């Protein structure tokens, strides 16, 4: 049915106080009315004058609302379960078998709960598209800008981390130290760039199945190889020097630095808002976080416990370095997909955040036009290049990443969700019901865990950087030496 030029429709309904405070310009999640010309005097939207833009954006919106809960689970797995899962055995070695199992299970359950809270914020405030948008609801514009910087910096540094991990993997696989290590860094950066090009998470999820298979097979190969070596060693399994409790010479900084490996392995809430923004049925997110959370708990606890029991206190990080020279080369080869796919999704997430802020009302943000693709490809290239340059330029990059993670992931995973519950999710006073009392106590505990991770994690990371310098373990910037990357 045709519409004459004077036909207008009423604007959407009244906004809540939170929605009034929320700056819609900052979020790529907008209704069709955002493309229309709004008349502030009459409170009406002129549909005819916005027809062309609206059609372009509607097509784009369909592309970015195709994520189902199984695909969300895959995206979360890609983000959360990477080669870092093979660092969990070293955490077990630092705190002992009992504490390792308790931390693995306990922190996993807490991560599921905080992820549930994050999802509840998204359901109550659909305009929230990224983590910074949610923080803006409780801390205003300053919190929004601060969290945006934290979000971008963390994800770009993670891209750099995967560039270095890829470099180490290629060096191990090829086993030719005569080749300049920078060659492998450049190859790794190119792979990360190419894999990050799919702009929607529904498209990216296809790669997730390869990613998950890669890490599972790499873990299995490592467990079997270390188990065989343990049986062949003098005394067999009984001769392995693992302990139920922490070793007597373990210091607090070293122990907590190792524990952060477990904490950061459960940091899947960082990108959850970004993923949920593309879901066609956001309320289904609960299925995803339970599927992911229980899978992580099973993998981390089994991997940490078995490999620590097979290798003992001298287990390397990542643990596949403890599987012997030949087997570790094979394991690194199997792990190549997870190194690059898990690394590239960080570029995609931060790219979606930046393009949403830079082009809040333009079809460019939907990446379904020539101009949109040019902007997207250029943006991913810049993100990857920055990650590569920072990772290669800073001699103590891995220790720096630990410091940044302590500063930022402590918030994204723990204290921000606790604050969200008190300010955005809680219904009634904290003591108005037994349920609220229990949840208030739980969220106070989560808040303290976040603060402890922030404080102790930062302290332990600084000590680690100083120790690396004093022991001469710091490599050179943009070094060609393959030996500089040996653990």
Nearest to 411 by CA among 459, 355, 458: 458
Burial class (CB in 10 A: 0-12, 13-18, 19+), 4: exposed
How much is the pLDDT for 396? 72
Percentage of the chain modeled with pLDDT above 90: 62
What is the arithmetic mean of pLDDT over 465-473?
81
Identify the band that residue 35 occupies on the pLDDT scale cut at 50, 70 and 90. Answer: very low
Question: How does residue 11 score in pLDDT terms, banded at 50, 70 and 90?
Answer: very low
Transcribe 1-60 into DSSP letters: ----TT--EEPP-PPPHHHHHS-GGG-S---GGGGSEEETTTTEEESGGGHHHHHHHHHH
Return the closest-CA partner of residue 222 out of 328, 302, 298.
328
Structure tokens that stand for 248 in this block: 């007597």
Q: Is the pLDDT of residue 118 over 70?
A: yes
Q: What is the DSSP letter of 411?
A: I
Q: Are 172 and 328 in contact (CB under 8 A)?
A: yes
What is the structure's pLDDT at 398? 67
Mean pLDDT within 188-216: 93
Mean pLDDT of 404-429: 94
CB 44 within 8 A of CB 296: no
Residue 330 has pLDDT above 50, yes or no: yes
Inform me whether the pLDDT recorded for 364 exceeds 50: yes
CA contacts within 13 A on the Cβ side of 181: 23
Q: Residue 487: its pLDDT value, please?
A: 54
> What is the CATH number assigned to the segment(s) 76-485?
1.20.1730
List the one residue out of 284, 293, 276 whose CA is nearest residue 122: 276
pLDDT score recorded for residue 126:
94
Question: For residue 44, is it left (φ>0), alpha (ψ between -120 and 50) or beta?
Answer: beta
Confidence category of residue 216, pLDDT binned at 50, 70, 90: very high
The pLDDT value recorded for residue 2 is 39
Are 205 and 77 spatial neighbours (Cβ–Cβ below 8 Å)?
no
**80: closest CA among 415, 349, 457, 354?**
349
**pLDDT (0 to 100) of residue 50:** 32
Q: Where are the domains of the chain?
A: 76-485
DSSP 304-318: HHHHHHHH-TT--SS
Q: Are 74 and 205 in contact (CB under 8 A)?
A: yes
- Residue written as tokens 């990650």? 387
User: Quick one: average pLDDT of 156-178?
Assistant: 91
What pLDDT does 58 receive? 59
Maximum alpha-carbon separation in the chain: 89
Is residue 104 pLDDT above 50, yes or no?
A: yes
Structure tokens at 211: 């990613």
User: What span, in angstroms and rounded, lies between the C-alpha atoms of 122 and 341?
Assistant: 26
Q: Which two tokens stand for residue 420?
A: 């969200």
Comparing 174 with 483, which gets the higher pLDDT?
174
In the predicted model, what is the mean pLDDT of residues 418-422? Answer: 97
* pLDDT tens for each residue of 264-281: 889 889 999 999 999 999
Q: In angstroms, what CA-CA distances link 206 with 180, 195, 199, 203, 373?
A: 33, 11, 12, 6, 20
The whole-angstrom separation of Cα 110 and Cα 275 is: 20
At residue 21, does pLDDT exceed 80?
A: no
Beta-carbon count within 10 A of 245 CB? 11
Mean pLDDT for 89-116 is: 95
Q: For 460, phi and psi rounded to 5 degrees?
A: -65, -35
Q: Which residue has the tokens 């994520």?
A: 67
pLDDT, position 303: 95
Is the distance from CB of 294 to CB of 105 less than 8 angstroms?
Answer: no
pTM for this entry: 0.85
Nearest alpha carbon to residue 405 among 460, 363, 447? 460
Poorest-confidence range of 23-27, 226-230, 454-458? 23-27
Higher pLDDT, 441 or 203: 441
Per-chain mean pLDDT for the chain:
85
23 pLDDT above the threshold of 60: no
Q: What is the pLDDT of residue 59?
A: 61
Instruction: Answer whether residue 131 shows pLDDT above 50.
Output: yes
- Write the DSSP symbol of residue 244: S
pLDDT of residue 62: 77
pLDDT at 94 over 50: yes
């Amino acid at each position: 049915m045709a519409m004459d030029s004077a036909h207008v429709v009423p604007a959407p309904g009244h906004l809540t106080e939170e929605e009034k405070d929320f700056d819609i310009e900052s979020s790529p999640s907008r209704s069709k009315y955002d493309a229309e010309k709004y008349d502030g005097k009459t409170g009406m939207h002129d549909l005819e004058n916005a027809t062309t833009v609206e059609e372009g954006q509607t097509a784009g919106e369909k592309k970015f609302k195709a994520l189902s809960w199984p695909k969300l689970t895959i995206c979360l797995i890609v983000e959360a379960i990477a080669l870092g899962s093979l660092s969990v055995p070293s955490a077990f070695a630092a705190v002992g078998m009992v504490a390792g199992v308790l931390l693995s299970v306990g922190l996993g359950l807490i991560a599921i709960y905080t992820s549930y809270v994050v999802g509840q914020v998204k359901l109550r405030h659909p305009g929230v598209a990224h983590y910074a948008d949610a923080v803006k609801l409780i801390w205003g514009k300053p919190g929004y800008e601060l969290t945006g910087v934290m979000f971008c910096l963390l994800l770009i540094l993670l891209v750099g981390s995967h560039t270095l991990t890829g470099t180490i993997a290629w060096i191990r696989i090829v086993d030719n130290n005569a080749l300049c290590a920078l060659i492998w860094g450049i190859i790794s950066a190119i792979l990360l760039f190419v894999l990050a090009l799919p702009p929607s998470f529904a498209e990216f999820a296809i790669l997730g199945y390869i990613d998950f298979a890669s890490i599972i097979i790499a873990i299995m190969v490592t467990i079997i190889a270390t188990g065989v070596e343990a049986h062949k060693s003098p005394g067999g399994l009984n001769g392995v020097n693992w302990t139920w409790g922490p070793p007597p010479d373990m210091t607090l900084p070293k122990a907590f630095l190792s524990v952060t490996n477990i904490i950061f392995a459960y940091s899947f809430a960082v990108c959850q808002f970004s993923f949920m923004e593309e879901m066609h049925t956001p309320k289904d997110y609960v299925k995803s976080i339970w599927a992911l959370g229980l899978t992580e708990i099973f993998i981390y606890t089994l991997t940490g416990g078995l490999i620590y029991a097979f290798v003992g206190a001298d287990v390397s990080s990542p643990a596949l370095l403890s599987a012997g020279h030949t087997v570790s080369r094979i394991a690194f080869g199997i792990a190549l997909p997870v190194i690059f796919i898990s690394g590239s999704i960080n570029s995609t997430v931060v790219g979606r955040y930046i393009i949403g802020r830079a082009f809040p009302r333009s079809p460019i943000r939907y990446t379904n036009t020539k101009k949109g693709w040019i902007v997207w490809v250029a943006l991913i290239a810049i993100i990857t290049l920055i990650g590569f340059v920072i990772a290669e330029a800073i001699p103590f990059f891995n220790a720096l990443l630990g410091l940044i993670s302590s500063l930022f992931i402590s918030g994204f995973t723990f204290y921000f969700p606790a604050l969200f519950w008190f300010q955005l999710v809680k219904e009634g006073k904290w003591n108005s019901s037994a349920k609220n009392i229990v949840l208030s106590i739980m969220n106070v505990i989560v808040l303290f865990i976040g603060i402890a991770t922030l404080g102790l994690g930062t302290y332990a990371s600084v000590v680690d950087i100083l120790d690396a310098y004093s022991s001469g373990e710091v490599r050179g910037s943009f070094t060609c030496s393959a030996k500089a990357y040996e653990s």
